[in-house]
Structure 1
Amino acid sequence: MSNLAWKFNRLRTMGLPEIGYRIRQAVQTKAELFTVRPDHQSPSPDCSRVGNAWLNPLPRNMDSGLYRAAADRVLAGYYDVFTLHNVQLGFPPKWNRDPKTGTEAPLVFGKTLDYRDERLVGDIKYLWEPNRHLHLTTLAQAYHLSGDMRYAEGVQILLESWFDQCPYPFGVNWTSSLELAIRLVNWSFTWHLLGGEHSPLFISESGQQFKRRWLDSIYQHSHFIAGYLSRHSSANNHLFGELMGLLVAAITWPYWPESGRWQRQAYVELENEAIKQNAADGVNREQAVYYQHEVIDMMLICWIIGRANGIDFSQNFIARLERMLEFIASLMDVTGAVPMIGDADSALIVHWSKEHNWNVYRSQLATGAVLFNRPDFKVKAKYFDDKSCWLLGEDARHQFDLMASDENQSTLPREFRDGGYFILGSRLDTADEIRIVADAGPLGYLSIAAHGHADALSFTLSVAGHALLVDPGTYAFHTQKKWRDYFRGTSAHNTVRVDGVDQSESGGNFMWLRKANVQCENWESDQNRDCLIASHDGYARLPDPVIHRRKIEFLKNEGIIRVEDILECAKEHTIELNWHFAEMCEVRIESGTVQATVANVCMEMMMPDCDCQPELMRGEDEPPSGWVSRRFDEKVPAPTVTWRGKITGTTRRLTILRILAGYNT
């Protein structure tokens, strides 16, 4: 998509107040362009008042070998950046260079640099990731656990090089306030792990000069964020993250006259955004589960740092956080897996844990189990991980271990009507559970719905902890448009596509124009049967409007799922019904019946009322079909089954899924 076309579509998503705001912002940026200087001097800090660390004392009961090994790799110049594993970037690295493509972004005024232009910056996700400075926290953890000054000195070397290569406010690292905010959060934890004001790094005269240089950059970061917050249709998780960074910086370094104002502003807006961006039932309104995990982390960071410094968040804020964790717990199957609904970028706010096979969702539930005294969260979490210990302290591990838990009784909610998710199934949270997660929710949040996928009325299925039907994930963000469009499009989800177009109309990589409206028409659940009926109007925009209504009925005693799709229309249309299986599944088609096997679980799928024959695809490029992406920028072939055909007038299609093994009545 051309830059002009993107700007036109972006304009279509704005109301008049936002257009006025964007114009004022553009004028302000132009004015700054003519006045900004590379040698800009920040105000002198008054260090007489200091911020407290999030814990006192900071935890030490970890396997220091894990953290020293990770820190040694950083000192040797080796990094993991998404699909680049153990890549040599140097020590220090070239901060303005994309490690994936080798493109070096120009050192121009940051607010005027188009970071969406691959020709200028390469793959911006890869460039930004090392600049979030999660590895600085890793070095500081290793120093805190070992006392080895090599790790502390490594932090100084990296920061000094970053200040040299990324002068305020020039280059790609001064374009996005969210990136600055995440960097500030990692600097805050690094600061305290190094000893804060009393760090041995600051003892010498040169150390004092380094400290002042660091504080100057902290002020510049905070000033930039406060004047460049994501507003209007961009006020999603980006705004929340920016406010987090501003609050954390103002608490950690309350050294300037503006610090109190920044703290008050961030606190008030975080309170408001926690309620606006997250529904009362705990579903984040971006309709993207991994982003829900990131917002949970943002809220946790603000809460624990705030309370250590006498700043109490409201009960509304805290209760909403508990509901969000409850939603994650309800989605999670018996193996700890969570459906990959909506966008996911594999990013972390802080890389706390170095444990093998660490699970981001179980970790959050372990933290939540202690914070909210929730034994049901403990059952899901299984164990108290290092990240939870870093956040809450060593006493929290003891609290977790003492907490009683009943693994034979699940009392978690299964209906999330505000967010639009429903969990059908039997024997949930036991070794032979059947779990269906159905999506009857909106496309996403605000007018651009940036991180939502066109997945209305889709569902996932796992049996005995083995994934059968999946949401294939995200794979691509700013680059690789074909794959970005596919993975967030309707054909990549277990639902019906009509006339070869998506339910909602895309206007760009993070923008939807016309959006499908979804309505839950009925939800019933008892000991024998779960049933959801919902519809959407995404195809009402076609010349001959189509309404898609789906009934998902699970008969618990028989292990049968009946999916009835009704397409209400007057004329002829082409429809396709896609079913995406996990990459571990063996799938074959015999006499029009689909048979899928994974481990000891077998399932058959049939459409008894349809004359068309199913097609089996795996790893197709043109057009894309048959892929699963479990991590950003990684995809693997996986079986996809598609029924295609033409309909004329209102038509009903019945799909029957029968679980044959791995299920005990």
Structure 2
Amino acid sequence: SSPSSTPERKEKFTLYVAAQAERIYKNIGYAISTRSNHTISEAFGLWLVGLLFPELKDSEKYLSIGRKLLEQEASAQIFPDGSYSMYSLNYHRFILQIYLHAIRLGENYQLPFANSLKVSVTKSIEYLSHLIDPQTGEVPAYGSNDGALVLPLNNCDFTDYRPLLQLGWYITKGERLFESGAWDEDIFWLCGAESLSPSGRGVRGEGKTSFPDGGVYLLRNTNNKAIIRCTDFTSRPSHADQLHVDLWIHGHDIAVDAGTYLYSGEGIWRNGLAHTNVHNTVTVDGKDQMTMVSRFTWTNWSKGKVIKHDKNLWQGEHDGYQPVSHKRSIMALEDDRWLVVDRLTAKEPHHYALQWLLNDFPFEQNDKSVVLSLGEMKYKVKIGMAEDSGNFSLVRADPNSTRGWRSRYYGHKEPAISLMLEVKRPQAIFWSFFGFENDVVEIAGNGLKINSTIISLIL
């Protein structure tokens, strides 16, 4: 009804849409071959044109192939545990925004999708609900992140996943996951004003901590959680991040993933944050856990394996550094404390480098530890070795390397605190303690004495 939308303009717009749809249709084979978010987005484009422009002679063809691909790729790309085959949480949001939009449009036009599609989307929303920090809406920066946000329907920050989960929970379950807030706006735009009336609150299954298809595991403590990467890749890896750990304390992301920054930067910044050495794990001989042959392609995929996972202990290993064996144990201790033990074993000497990338909080350094100021709380991170002193270093925003940087938004990097402990020997046991400023931590024989408790380092 707008006077600006003249018949001539509407005709030109329709011709433009038709041309774009035909271009996508003629090249859909390539999109399918990528088995990625591109497959899903281009399938949605065809389906959308077929749905909204029935006057086009090929609209039924577009609608049919788009629907078929959307249903097919939901089952193919979303793993049974709800995680995503691209091993990227940003691309996971990308495809879920598309699917949620498609589900709503299909319902409005009385053309619902197969139940299998909605089941896959529901599992994905549930999966992300376990990873999100409800206080900030943030999730770990796992995998590739090009800044994509296909439904910017709210004023929340790019890193806030609450709009996605609030919308997804409402569409798939008819309830809200969070209290009302700025993240409700997506529901309004896609579900109408009636959706803003009070509705029931959803409840997450807090007990679920294992997502083996995507290689993500959780340990929960009183007011914090560790999120661990360990996977046997079944599709193209995104980052070389086996045994990486994100640690969240009282809503603060303490130990963080570096993110992505740039795909096509110069020199070290050409997808430089995909490498092992920027992750919270151990790098051996300065190499990646896999071989990077292009910006987005890895060969010799490393294989992660979970050894043990119970309420307070997770143990795993990977084979990316054969003949070196790397096993990691993560323990949730009492009262928001954590201990991580890395055991590396080989017959010949190798260079081992343990790194922790910490959020850029105000800090004080003391020997091989830092004390972070989290408001009124002082949180200590201390690292050491069982049988050696090692070479300790702390770097923040190194101007000549990727060390001490993180990227929360594509194309933007910001300082972070990198703690590193290095040694060259055949075998090494690293320990990393996360606790409070006044905690006393010291070696005691084959164990680590934390205040008055001794914990064995031979795990």
TM score, norm. by length of structure 2: 0.88
What is the aligned partner in structure 2 of residue 483 from structure 1? 269
CA 308–232 in structure 1, closer or farther in 2 if over 3 Å, else same: closer
SS in 2 for 1:238: helix
Instruction: Please state how far the C-alpha of 1:550 moved relative to its aligned partner.
Output: 1.1
What is the aligned partner in structure 1 of residue 251 from structure 2? 465
| 1:415 has 2:210 as partner | yes
Aligned CA RMSD, in angstroms, stands at 2.4
| 1:331 has 2:131 as partner | yes
> Is the contact between residue 520 and residue 533 of structure 1 (CA under 8 Å) also seen in structure 2?
yes
Instruction: Please state how far the C-alpha of 1:523 moved relative to its aligned partner.
Output: 1.1
Determine the C-alpha separation between the residues in 2 that align with 1:298 and 1:358. 17
Higher Cα Rg: structure 1 or 2?
1
> Is the contact between residue 597 and residue 603 of structure 1 (CA under 8 Å) also seen in structure 2?
no
Q: Deviations over 1:178-209 (max 9, x none)?
A: xxxxxxxxxxxxxxxxxxxx65444xxxx322
Superposed, 1:205-224 pairs within 5 Å as 207-224=6-23
CA 594–384 in structure 1, closer or farther in 2 if over 3 Å, else same: closer
What is the aligned partner in structure 1 of residue 434 from structure 2? 657
2:300 to 497, 514, 530: 514
Determine the C-alpha separation between the residues in 2 that align with 1:280 and 1:592. 42
1:446 to 235, 259, 273: 235
Identity value in percent: 23
Q: Greater helix percent: which structure?
A: 1
Q: Deviations over 1:627-663 (max 9, x none)?
A: 1211111111111101011021x4332323224589x
| 1:306 has 2:106 as partner | yes
What is the aligned partner in structure 1 of residue 452 from structure 2? none
| 1:626 has 2:425 as partner | no
2:317 to 531, 535, 539: 535
Determine the C-alpha separation between the residues in 2 that align with 1:586 and 1:306. 50
Report the residue type matching 1:563 in the other structure.
Answer: V
CA 598–614 in structure 1, closer or farther in 2 if over 3 Å, else same: farther
Report the residue type matching 2:380 in the other structure.
Answer: M
Instruction: Please state how far the C-alpha of 1:572 moved relative to its aligned partner.
Output: 1.4
| 1:297 has 2:83 as partner | no
CA 515–252 in structure 1, closer or farther in 2 if over 3 Å, else same: same
SS in 1 for 2:219: strand
Instruction: Please state how far the C-alpha of 1:521 moved relative to its aligned partner.
Output: 2.1
Unaligned runs of 5+ in 1: 1-197, 428-432
Determine the C-alpha separation between the residues in 2 that align with 1:248 and 1:265. 11
Report the residue type matching 2:220 in the other structure.
Answer: G
Report the residue type matching 1:438 in the other structure.
Answer: I
Determine the C-alpha separation between the residues in 2 that align with 1:356 and 1:234. 31
SS in 1 for 2:71: helix
Instruction: Please state how far the C-alpha of 1:374 moved relative to its aligned partner.
Output: 6.4
Aligned length: 435
What is the aligned partner in structure 2 of residue 391 from structure 1? 190
SS in 1 for 2:313: strand
What is the aligned partner in structure 1 of residue 366 from structure 2? 590
What is the aligned partner in structure 2 of residue 568 from structure 1? 345
SS in 1 for 2:310: strand
SS in 2 for 1:539: coil
> Is the contact between residue 381 and residue 432 of structure 2 (CA under 8 Å) also seen in structure 1?
no
Instruction: Please state how far the C-alpha of 1:298 moved relative to its aligned partner.
Output: 1.0
Instruction: Please state how far the C-alpha of 1:377 moved relative to its aligned partner.
Output: 1.7
| 1:607 has 2:350 as partner | no
CA 351–592 in structure 1, closer or farther in 2 if over 3 Å, else same: closer
CA 446–425 in structure 1, closer or farther in 2 if over 3 Å, else same: closer
Superposed, 1:51-450 pairs within 5 Å as 200-202=3-5, 207-229=6-28, 230-231=30-31, 234-335=34-135, 336-353=137-154, 355=155, 357=157, 360-373=160-173, 377-379=177-179, 385-398=184-197, 401-404=198-201, 411=206, 413-427=208-222, 433-442=223-232, 446-447=235-236, 449=237
SS in 2 for 1:625: coil
Determine the C-alpha separation between the residues in 2 that align with 1:375 and 1:471. 31
Unaligned runs of 5+ in 2: 440-459
Instruction: Please state how far the C-alpha of 1:339 moved relative to its aligned partner.
Output: 1.0
Determine the C-alpha separation between the residues in 2 that align with 1:376 and 1:366. 6
Report the residue type matching 2:199 in the other structure.
Answer: L
What is the aligned partner in structure 2 of residue 84 from structure 1? none
Q: Deviations over 1:118-168 (max 9, x none)?
A: xxxxxxxxxxxxxxxxxxxxxxxxxxxxxxxxxxxxxxxxxxxxxxxxxxx
CA 393–481 in structure 1, closer or farther in 2 if over 3 Å, else same: farther
SS in 2 for 1:351: coil
